[in-house]
Structure 1
Amino acid sequence: MDRLSIIGITLAIGSLLGGSILKGAGLAALWSPAAFVIVILGTVAASLLQTPMVTFKRAMAIARWVVRPPTRDNAATITRMVEWSNIARRQGLLGLEPEIEKQDDPFLRKGLQMVVDGLEPESIRQMLEIELYGQSKRDLDAAKVYEGMGIYAPTLGIIGAVLGLIAVMKNLADPSKLGHGIAAAFTATIYGIGSANLALLPMASKLKGIVHDRTQEREMMVEGLIAIAQGENPRNIESRLSGFVL
């Protein structure tokens, strides 16, 4: 669980609700079905128009990473690589075969299988790097979906405000409705700017950071597996991989 994300979400909601109360607008002023339809649904619609379905589905799937990011333990990975190197030096590469089924990470399991099968180190590197590039690009494209939403939402908020003001202009003959109508019009602006700057853009940045960290972790795995396949000294492997966590 990412505590900073939980704190950030709590503070974001608190800042909007508390600010509305302290300014005297009240909580009811923040609710507007029309603004919700124009800004929120409009933002989703624009994103769907821009994004391939497979990328959009991936974006929905990784949204949970903001609060519950994938588990990473680089120190444990280095320790595991050193242990495998020692096994390979004592028993040969086939001695690593029992370790394959113990791996939960499909990427690591696939790489270890290549090492056990005796593939050339350069071939292992090429295949793993191709897979790593593809996965990283898919995840990065998914993270950019929220970045796109964060760009569309403020503009749609302005559209909502303009539509609200048009409705107000139609009621100029009734001054009693002007104040409420103008306030309701600007609620759409709050939806747009608030959702972009307090949720969508921060989510995109967080997810891109997580994707970068996962890519770096897998690059370390690739280097470790290649070193094992080449029969390098375990101490050298540990020293080399430690550079990824400095």
Structure 2
Amino acid sequence: MEIATLLGIVVVFGAVVASLIMEGASPTSILLLPPIILVFVGSIGAAMAGGFITDMGLIFKQLTLAFTAKEPKSDEVVAELVSMADTARREGLLALEERARSIEDPFLKDGIEMTVDGTDGDEIYDVLHTQIATRRKRDKLGIKFFADMGGYAPTIGIIGTVIGLIHVLGNLGAPEKLGELIASAFVATLWGVMSANVMWLPISSKLKRVSEAEIAHMELLLEGVLAIQSGTSPRVVEKRLRAALADGGGGDVAAEAA
């Protein structure tokens, strides 16, 4: 589990609780169920309204990914690709057939299997590049959903505050209750702003960061597979992949394939 996102959220909520205590207020004063339900359920519903119901299964997977995704170990993959390039150069591409069965990464496994089968480099590029495009499209869906929630939550919170103030105006005959009712009304705004800036927008940013890292990793694998398929020297393969790592991604794979 990658703890940065969870730790960051816990730290902010901890700071809010500490601030309330230092001000002499009780942390339970903001734990009011009606505004919490309105803000969280309302934000989810508003974001859902902008998509399809079938998107929701993917959204929950993306939410899990924000808390569990780890940075790809590209250095280890480079060593593996160089080793396979060396084997292919000395023993031929068919020598990689047994090795392909033990590859855990499905993207790399597809590439090596197509290479062993004698698939043309352009066809390998087309298939793997389509997988990358599909992954990028799927990731954008999750990123947008949580960014939308971050945009809607403060407004939903204001709606909750207006509802609370309507309740206040209905109780003007009981002035001893006005202070408590007004304070409760603004809890919805607090949860709207806090959920947006502490949860939804950071989660969207994390998913974007994860997507960028995974896409760069896949582009690196694609470049390595194409180099192996073309019979490139292991030393050149390593230099090319190390250069791609230093550049922060897989480089222009189409140009390399050409």
TM over 0.5: yes
Corresponding residue for residue 173 of structure 1: 173
Residue 37 of structure 1 and its aligned partner are, at CA, apart by 2.2
Decide whether the 8 Å contact of 2:139 with 2:211 is kept in 1: yes
Which letter maps to 1:227? A
Mapped to 2, the partners of 1:42 and 1:190 lie a distance apart of 15
Corresponding residue for residue 255 of structure 2: none
Corresponding residue for residue 95 of structure 1: 95
How many residues of Structure 1 are paired with residues of Structure 2 in the alignment?
A: 246
Mapped to 1, the partners of 2:244 and 2:193 lie a distance apart of 38
Matches within 5 A, 1:14-33: 14-33=14-33
Gaps in structure 2 of 5+ consecutive residues: 247-258
SS of residue paired to 1:67: helix
Residue 65 of structure 1 and its aligned partner are, at CA, apart by 2.7
Moved more, 109-118 or 52-61: 52-61
Corresponding residue for residue 227 of structure 2: 227
Matched, 1:210 2:210: yes
Residue 36 of structure 1 and its aligned partner are, at CA, apart by 1.6
Residue 71 of structure 1 and its aligned partner are, at CA, apart by 5.1
Matched, 1:41 2:21: no
Mapped to 2, the partners of 1:226 and 1:73 lie a distance apart of 20
Q: TM-score, normalised by structure 1?
A: 0.96
Decide whether the 8 Å contact of 1:154 with 1:193 is kept in 2: yes
Which letter maps to 1:96? L
Which letter maps to 1:28? T
Mapped to 2, the partners of 1:53 and 1:222 lie a distance apart of 33
Matches within 5 A, 1:62-141: 62-70=62-70, 72-141=72-141
Residue 212 of structure 1 and its aligned partner are, at CA, apart by 0.6
SS of residue paired to 1:72: coil
SS of residue paired to 1:53: coil
Residue 228 of structure 1 and its aligned partner are, at CA, apart by 0.5
Decide whether the 8 Å contact of 1:58 with 1:139 is kept in 2: no
Corresponding residue for residue 256 of structure 2: none
Residue 34 of structure 1 and its aligned partner are, at CA, apart by 1.3
Residue 5 of structure 1 and its aligned partner are, at CA, apart by 2.5
Deviations 1:150-195 (A, max 9, x none): 1110000000001100100011111011001000000001110000
Decide whether the 8 Å contact of 1:143 with 1:208 is kept in 2: yes
Mapped to 2, the partners of 1:175 and 1:208 lie a distance apart of 50
SS of residue paired to 1:100: helix
Mapped to 2, the partners of 1:69 and 1:31 lie a distance apart of 30
Corresponding residue for residue 152 of structure 1: 152
Decide whether the 8 Å contact of 1:82 with 1:234 is kept in 2: yes
Decide whether the 8 Å contact of 2:5 with 2:206 is kept in 1: no
Mapped to 2, the partners of 1:54 and 1:82 lie a distance apart of 41
Decide whether the 8 Å contact of 2:71 with 2:210 is kept in 1: no
SS of residue paired to 2:68: coil
Decide whether the 8 Å contact of 2:151 with 2:196 is kept in 1: yes
Decide whether the 8 Å contact of 1:227 with 1:237 is kept in 2: yes
Corresponding residue for residue 52 of structure 2: 52
Deviations 1:70-91 (A, max 9, x none): 4511111110111111111111
Mapped to 2, the partners of 1:102 and 1:71 lie a distance apart of 22
Mapped to 2, the partners of 1:165 and 1:159 lie a distance apart of 10
Corresponding residue for residue 9 of structure 2: 9
Gaps in structure 1 of 5+ consecutive residues: none
Mapped to 1, the partners of 2:184 and 2:107 lie a distance apart of 52
